[in-house]
Amino acid sequence: MKEVNLKHFTFTLLIVILVWSSTYQSCNARRGKHWRRSRTTSDSLYKKKYKNHGNNHNHRGSGYKSKSPPKPPVKGYSPAVPPPSYDDGPPTISSTAFNVLQFGAKGDGNTDDTKAFEAAWAAACKVEASTVVVPPNYVFLVGPISFSGPYCRQNIVFQLDGTIIAPMSWKSWGSGLFQWILFSKLNGISVQGNGIIDGRGSLWWKESSQLDESLLVEPRTNTTTDKNNPQAVTSSDLYGQMPSIKPTALRFYGSFNATVTGITIQNSPQCHLKFDNCVGVEVFNMNVTSPGNSLNTDGIHLQNSRDVVIHSTNLACGDDCVSVQTGCSNIYIHNVNCGPGHGISIGGLGKDNTKACVSNITVRDVVMHNTTNGVRIKTWQGGSGSVQGVLFSNIQVSEVEFPIVIDQYYCDKRICKNQTSAVALSGINYEKIRGTYTIKPVHFACSDSLPCEGVTLTNIKLEPQQERYRMFNPFCWQTFGELNTPSLPPIDCLQIGKPSSNRIQSNRDSC
């Protein structure tokens, strides 16, 4: 009997040891890295209990995910799939189109669509990479308008495929405005498309208040502008006189990374396209069209702007095809057709004894036909500052009056007062300037007190268009530099070297 009890006790003890051992291993397994909590009711209660407790800890259970972002990839490695965004809130809409017709625009060439354009812009302004759509086959009458930041989102596109026309009534302009269409304080703004901006500027080009009767057309039974001829004017439009301040058709102010491409700007009252206080500008594949006798209608006007590229563009106007003014640097103009017009000009600079600073300007691969000037630098007497680092290269001229010009005695009046101070000119390079002229091939008129220096001429070949024209020989005054190759005609008037009595620039002169 004792022997049976001993066997029973031994068997019971063995069972206890086995159970205890199994429990011990199970507990140890929970400390291992491969443990997974089963998705039971108790597990869900556990997660509910600690859902606010574990946000800052990396739990290894399947129901727990860290809210900390993953470690950045190894430097120099670009994953094929971009990492997920961990920003709070829904993702930003990347692109949305706002058609001006949906905001009430009529596009009949007669109804004032200004408010519809303003409403479409207000909506697009709130969305990054949005598009304002001006559809084709419509003519939109739009008064003076401003598409302004600085609180608009970036990279907005103004898609212009229709035609925008300016008001012809003097009442729309008040006492005068500096621009008609303004894009101000924007980042990444693009104006593009196959459309037209028509300033209908013929009324502004008249110097007197009397209007040429030839501008009038027969009044229609209604006052609707001819959709096929938005330039047409009715007698009711001409009541009153246009203000003396003439607007620029399209102006960009205080903007970054501005692009203009594809469009046509025509018949502007004054400048067609202006960039003022802008950084990062590209203009390409666009057209400017105005008659050669339209007053002060510069094609593209640059002022206080830098990092500008203008290329693959046709510019026909009544003033400078491109005008580079004070405060401009890093300007690159190439593959441009210019004419009619006054050529491509730097200046006038230093007017009313002001300081002007221009540097690093390149103009190359340009064709000019029937222009007053070719490549020109013009400054006023009495100014200060400097123009330096200029290259005019591979310029083809045809029937141009003055292909190469430096004029430090520029004056737009009959008489200007003589003054001693001047904007300093240095490092001006001309190479491969070829073609025909009608008056004078080269005209260098530099300041007595501050002569031009570092003027270099290479591969200059200019011939008279026809002998019947009255021709003048090259002219140089106080111009110093180098002739790197023989020129046609010979430019013997250029003084080789540097001026001996050139005065030292003061702080007022330096830029």
Task: List CB contacts of 500: < 8 A, sequence separation 6 or more.
Answer: none
145/222 Cα distance (integer angstroms): 26
268/271 Cα distance (integer angstroms): 6
378/352 Cα distance (integer angstroms): 14
- Which one of 276, 298, 319, 509 is the catalytic residue? 319
Cis peptide bond upstream of 489, omega within 30: yes
Is 53 marked active-site? no
- Which one of 272, 301, 342, 443 is the catalytic residue? 342
Radius of gyration of the chain (CA): 36
User: 231-244 burial, b if ≥16 CB within 10 A, otherwise e?
Assistant: bbbbeebbeeebee
Helix, strand, coil percent content, the chain, rounded in steps of 5: 15, 35, 50
38/40 Cα distance (integer angstroms): 6
**DSSP result, 397-464:** EEEESEEEEEETT--SSS-----S---EEEEEEEEEEEEEESS-SEEEE--SSS-EEEEEEEEEEEEE
Is 8 marked active-site? no
Question: Of 232, 111, 128, 248, which Cα lies nearest the Cα of 177?
Answer: 248
Helix (H) / strand (E) containing 349:
strand 344-349
Sign of CA dihedral 71, 72, 77, 80: positive
Task: List CB contacts of 154: < 8 A, sequence separation 6 or more.
Answer: 128, 129, 187, 188
- State the catalytic residues: 319, 342
